[in-house]
């Protein structure tokens, strides 16, 4: 939610970085636009003054504005791309917001919860506000402290000291970045419960909501802790807490390159990311077992004795990540015989959950910054639970605050709707389940080795589906006028059906629902009328206790009532043909692993249908990639 970039470079004649702040900040915003695209804005410091431009709508609107009214060359700048919370997506509400007579510019990600009270106080001092945002209140507070309390004296700590004092008064979640005309070589930033990383360059330094904000310039990044302030100049990075006590950040190397965050010849990030999936699963599996098939999850630094004593697992996640958890629940319970609940993070702490030191919390989050999940993890830790994070973003908050982390190595996911992260999350959760089964002796080593071998075959099978994607693409295009699509599944196919429906809602803005096929007769079948498209995810007909026959009956039931049935089935399943208008076959695979395959045609369908409607599949309306507010 909201992308933030900051930059300070060094002037020519000293070490010449040859970077104009405007170019660096714009490039960062381009990469961070997935975090919010309601408006964008930039401020630079030049010739002892702040110059800024801001525009509602996508970044391209700001670029057009900058062409019409260029900003001066500068070595210091900040930029913001917004997902609106307080105040609609207008030019006026766009960031940066100015204060101190236009000498100070501030951008913000998060929500200032006590903004109303602070605004009243500032109004009482004669401050005037031009927007409806909480951000402008934070800017005014900072400006007031800088000018009226500190006397605008840089020697007295200047902007950094003012930021400390301002943060002591702010409640809620925030990342703030500020520049001041009187300190032209400095960007000051603060964070509480909202993401911020520092990029270390040669004679230049960077700030970003995540590393993509500066990945074109450096791979050296520094993680910041909670409630910290960072002051960057071209040659220094100083970190303190909100009371001025020195603090340390943790430096790390960003191990993906800028090219992996480009479209790579595909028309959209989403299409590229769908095609990245064989590699996303492969990378997530890589290096996690030895030649004997023994799982070695080195990152999982929780005392094995504690893991052995776990008597309940609670998976916490939201949206697509929660569906990954629901898929994993079937496997974890089957392999480990540990009762496993999956809970939407935002519901969790409000229901007085039963959590103790024998509970293992597994949070799943692509971004590692989802506020609902972070808060739920913190709550569980307070109750004494052990916490493991499954996460795709190195150095993000949720893994940092968890006892252990299992990274999914899907690479950067830029399209707002999640695809490759979902498959990587299922893969990582399966590795965790198998590891627990190994540790607790629920499975023989040979059995684990066999499952790992089956998992190892998944990337090639996903590739096989992608190589034959034209059939499902054609169906997507032909259904661009559909008003509603239903998805049915059973067992692990149930969360897949819900994920298929979510992708369609998000990308194509049409009504879509995923149901457990067995639930049909208990109500949802009333929705079926002539021509209603219904996707059915059919389980494999092979194996013990197969639900295949029951799902085939469900297909017949909806078809008898006029539904147009579209079936995802396993290769060789001839039984479904008679009842399906379209059948899409996926390669044979063990039932528990089937979601890693059956999800793929549903993603392609949603992508293609939305593209046929002319929608922006990378940045669907009203959404943002990383939901950093509750």
373 is a contact residue toward ligand F6R (CB under 6 A): yes
Long-range contacts of 555-561 (CB under 8 A, 24+ apart): 555/579, 555/580, 557/520, 557/521, 557/525, 558/488, 558/520, 558/525, 558/528, 558/532, 558/534, 561/525, 561/528, 561/529
**CB of residue 277 vs ligand F6R: minimum separation in angstroms?**
14
Contact 533, 476 (CB under 8 A): no
Q: Is 625 a catalytic residue?
A: yes
Contact 187, 105 (CB under 8 A): no
Stretch that binds ligand F6R, among 120-128, 158-166, 248-256, 313-321 (CB under 6 A): 313-321
**CB of residue 100 vs ligand F6R: minimum separation in angstroms?**
36
CA distances from 56 to 87, 89, 93, 96, 616 (A): 12, 6, 8, 12, 17
Half-sphere exposure of 60 (CA within 13 A, CB side): 0
Q: How far apart are CA 171 and CA 143, in angstroms?
A: 18
Complex with ligand F6R: residue 502 or 600, whichever CB lies closer: 502
- The number of residues in the chain equals 630
**111, 186, 380, 417: residue in contact with ligand F6R (rule CB under 6 A):** 417
**CB of residue 336 vs ligand F6R: minimum separation in angstroms?**
23
Task: Give the closest residue to 55 by CA, choosing from 35, 41, 37.
Answer: 41
Q: How far apart are CA 277 and CA 391, in angstroms?
A: 16
Catalytic member of 2, 167, 318, 391: 2
CA distances from 192 to 46, 213, 232, 257 (A): 29, 19, 18, 28
77 is a contact residue toward ligand F6R (CB under 6 A): no
**41, 213, 249, 319: residue in contact with ligand F6R (rule CB under 6 A):** 319
Complex with ligand F6R: residue 277 or 370, whichever CB lies closer: 370
**CB of residue 405 vs ligand F6R: minimum separation in angstroms?**
14
Q: How far apart are CA 327 and CA 330, in angstroms?
A: 6
Task: Give the closest residue to 497 by CA, choosing from 611, 612, 594.
Answer: 594
**CB of residue 364 vs ligand F6R: minimum separation in angstroms?**
7
**CB of residue 367 vs ligand F6R: minimum separation in angstroms?**
3
**CB of residue 242 vs ligand F6R: minimum separation in angstroms?**
27
**Residue 150 CB: number of other CB atoms within 10 A?**
17
627 is a contact residue toward ligand F6R (CB under 6 A): yes
603 is a contact residue toward ligand F6R (CB under 6 A): no
Write the binding mask 138 to 177 for ligand F6R: x where contact by CB under 6 A, - elsewhere. Answer: ----------------------------------------
Q: Is 167 a catalytic residue?
A: no
Complex with ligand F6R: residue 413 or 573, whichever CB lies closer: 413
**20, 370, 540, 619: residue in contact with ligand F6R (rule CB under 6 A):** 370
130: exposed, middle or buried (C-beta count within 10 Å: 0-12, 13-18, 19+)?
exposed
**CB of residue 506 vs ligand F6R: minimum separation in angstroms?**
6
Which of positions 489-548 make contact with ligand F6R (CB under 6 A)? 502, 506
CA 168 to chain centre: 29
321 is a contact residue toward ligand F6R (CB under 6 A): yes
Write the binding mask 212 to 251 for ligand F6R: x where contact by CB under 6 A, - elsewhere. Answer: ----------------------------------------
**Residue 514 CB: number of other CB atoms within 10 A?**
25
**367, 397, 408, 438: residue in contact with ligand F6R (rule CB under 6 A):** 367
Complex with ligand F6R: residue 93 or 321, whichever CB lies closer: 321
Complex with ligand F6R: residue 71 or 270, whichever CB lies closer: 270
Q: Is 169 helix (H, G, I), strand (E, B) or coil?
A: helix
Complex with ligand F6R: residue 399 or 489, whichever CB lies closer: 399
- The residue to which tokens 């057009």 are assigned: 64
> Which residue numbers are catalytic?
2, 625
User: What is the binding site for ligand F6R (CB under 6 A)?
Assistant: 318-321, 365-367, 370, 373, 417-418, 502, 506, 626-627
């Amino acid at each position: 939610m909201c992308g933030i970039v900051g930059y300070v470079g060094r002037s020519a004649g000293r070490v010449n970085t040859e970077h104009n702040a405007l170019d660096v900040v714009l490039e960062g915003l381009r990469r961070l636009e997935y975090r919010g695209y309601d408006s964008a804005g930039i401020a630079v410091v030049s010739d002892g003054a702040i110059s800024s431009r801001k525009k509602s709508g996508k970044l391209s609107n700001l670029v057009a504005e900058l062409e019409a009214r260029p900003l001066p060359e500068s070595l210091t700048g900040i930029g913001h791309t917004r997902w609106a919370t307080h105040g609609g997506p207008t030019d006026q509400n766009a960031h940066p917001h100015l204060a101190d007579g236009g000498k100070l510019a501030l951008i913000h990600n998060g929500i200032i919860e006590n903004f109303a009270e602070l605004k009243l106080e500032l109004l009482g001092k004669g401050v005037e506000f031009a927007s409806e945002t909480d951000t402008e209140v934070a800017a005014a507070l900072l400006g007031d402290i800088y000018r009226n309390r500190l006397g605008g004296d840089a020697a007295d700590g200047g902007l950094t000291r003012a930021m400390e004092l301002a943060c002591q008064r702010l409640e809620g979640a925030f990342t703030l970045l500020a520049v001041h005309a009187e300190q032209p070589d400095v960007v000051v930033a603060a964070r509480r419960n909202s993401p911020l990383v520092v990029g270390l360059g040669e004679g230049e330094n960077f700030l970003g909501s995540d590393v993509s904000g500066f990945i074109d310039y450096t791979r050296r990044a520094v993680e910041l802790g909670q409630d910290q302030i960072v002051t960057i100049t071209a040659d220094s990075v100083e970190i303190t807490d909100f009371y001025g006590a020195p603090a340390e950040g943790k430096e790390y190397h960003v191990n993906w390159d800028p090219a992996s965050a480009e479209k790579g010849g595909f028309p959209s990030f989403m299409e590229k990311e769908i095609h990245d999936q064989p590699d996303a699963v492969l990378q997530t599996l890589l290096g996690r077992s030895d030649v004997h098939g023994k799982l070695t999850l080195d990152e999982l630094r929780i005392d094995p004795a504690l893991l052995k004593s776990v008597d309940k697992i609670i998976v916490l996640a939201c949206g697509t990540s929660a569906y990954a958890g629901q898929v994993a629940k079937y496997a974890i319970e089957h392999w480990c015989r540990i009762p496993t609940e999956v809970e939407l993070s935002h519901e969790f702490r409000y229901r007085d959950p039963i959590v103790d030191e024998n509970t293992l919390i597994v949070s799943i989050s692509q971004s590692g910054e989802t506020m609902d999940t972070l808060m739920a993890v913190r709550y569980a830790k307070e109750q004494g639970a052990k916490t493991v994070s499954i996460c795709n973003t190195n150095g993000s908050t949720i893994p940092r605050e968890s006892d252990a982390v299992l990274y999914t190595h899907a690479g950067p996911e830029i399209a707002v709707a999640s695809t490759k992260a979902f498959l990587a999350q299922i893969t990582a959760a399966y590795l965790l389940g198998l590891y627990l089964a190994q540790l607790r002796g629920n499975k023989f080593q040979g059995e684990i080795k066999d499952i790992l071998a089956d998992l190892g075959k998944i990337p090639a099978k996903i590739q096989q589906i992608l190589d034959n994607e034209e059939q499902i693409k054609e169906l997507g295009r032909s259904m661009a006028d559909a008003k509603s699509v239903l998805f049915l599944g059973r067992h692990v196919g149930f969360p897949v059906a819900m994920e298929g429906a979510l992708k369609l809602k998000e990308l194509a803005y049409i009504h879509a629902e995923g149901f457990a096929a067995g639930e049909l007769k208990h109500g949802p079948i009333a929705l079926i009328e002539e021509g209603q498209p219904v996707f059915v995810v059919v389980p494999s007909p092979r194996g013990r206790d197969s639900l295949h026959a029951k799902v085939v009956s469900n297909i017949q039931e909806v078809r008898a009532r006029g539904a147009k049935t579209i079936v995802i089935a396993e290769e060789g399943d001839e039984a479904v043909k008679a009842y399906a208008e379209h059948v899409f076959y996926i390669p044979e695979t063990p039932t528990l692993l089937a979601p890693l395959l059956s999800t793929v045609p549903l993603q392609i369908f949603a992508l293609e249908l939305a593209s046929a409607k002319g929608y922006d599949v990378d940045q669907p309306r009203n959404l943002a990639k990383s939901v950093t507010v509750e």
